[in-house]
Amino acid sequence: MRAHRSAPILLVSASALLLAVALAGCPKKKPKTAACDSNEDCKDGLVCIDKTCQVCTADEQCGPGMACDDGACVAKPECVKDADCDDGKVCQAGRCQACAQDSECGPGGNCEAGVCQRAKACKADEDCEDDEDCVDGFCQKPWAGGGDAGSCTLETVYFGFDEASIAESERDRLDANAQCIGKNAGKNVFVMGHTDATGTDEYNIALSERRARAAADYLSRLGVDPAILDVVGKGETEITGSGDDKDRRVEFSFH
């Protein structure tokens, strides 16, 4: 009986051994790299190099109107700085936009009917008109509205549609905000994220929080103490009325 009952066990063991040997002898399949003749044949921002789709390493590989960003080809922004825009527009989230408030027009600037009237650059008071002073490199009337020469304004930063990453056009504004925060030691700052009305309330709250967190993280990397930054996601609860582009924003205020 023992010999009879052990036979199936030996058979199963032999079969398992043969299967293991067979699997070990099978070569593993290598991942395929998509073949291509041009960039149009590639997906996900890849470029055609040596007949295969690969990540980019330079803007020149991406073609006209495109740039290499973190290994993928993306459309170049319309602008990077306000100086890239004509007709008094401002560069926000990579696009030239009409201004909506004075603070978008730089130190000493004014927004009139969507057009920035920018302050004159200066090095000394003598470079300005008689009723202006040279403040932070621009001719201004610091006493207008009850302000003083040591005051500064925290600027709003803007985002692309469904984006929570900091566009290159917004970095100068965050740099200026970091300097302004440094001049106001002892004050905390609300970092308030907003969205346009597209999407559900739940999604927009989460997106606004990501935007506010991205701005706060950027300020922290510039040396601002994270402990004084209070991140708030407001979703679509405070629409500007000036269009979706103005709604996709992060605002800052001292408290």
Radius of gyration of the chain (CA): 29
Query: Three-state secondary structure along 193-213?
Result: ECCCCCCCHHHHHHHHHHHHH
Q: What percent of the chain has pLDDT over 70?
A: 83
* Confidence (pLDDT) at 10: 45
> Furthest-apart CA pair in the chain: how many Å?
117
Mean pLDDT (the chain, rounded): 86
Question: pLDDT by residue (tens digit) across 83-122?
Answer: 999 999 999 999 999 999 888 998 788 999 999 998 888 9
Question: pLDDT by residue (tens digit) across 44-94?
Answer: 889 898 889 999 999 899 988 888 888 888 888 999 999 999 999 999 999
CA dihedral 127, 133, 135, 140 (to 10 degrees): -100
CATH 3.30.1330.60-classified regions of the chain: 152-254
Instruction: Pick from 25-29, 33-37, 149-153, 164-168 the range whose average pLDDT is largest.
Output: 164-168
Please state which of the four CATH numbers 3.30.1330.60, 3.10.25.10, 3.30.360.10, 3.40.50.1400 is assigned to the domain occupying 152-254.
3.30.1330.60
Considering only residues 142 and 93, tell me which one the structure prediction assigns the higher pLDDT. 93
Cα–Cα distance, 196 to 209 (Å, whole number): 13
- pTM over 0.85? The answer is no
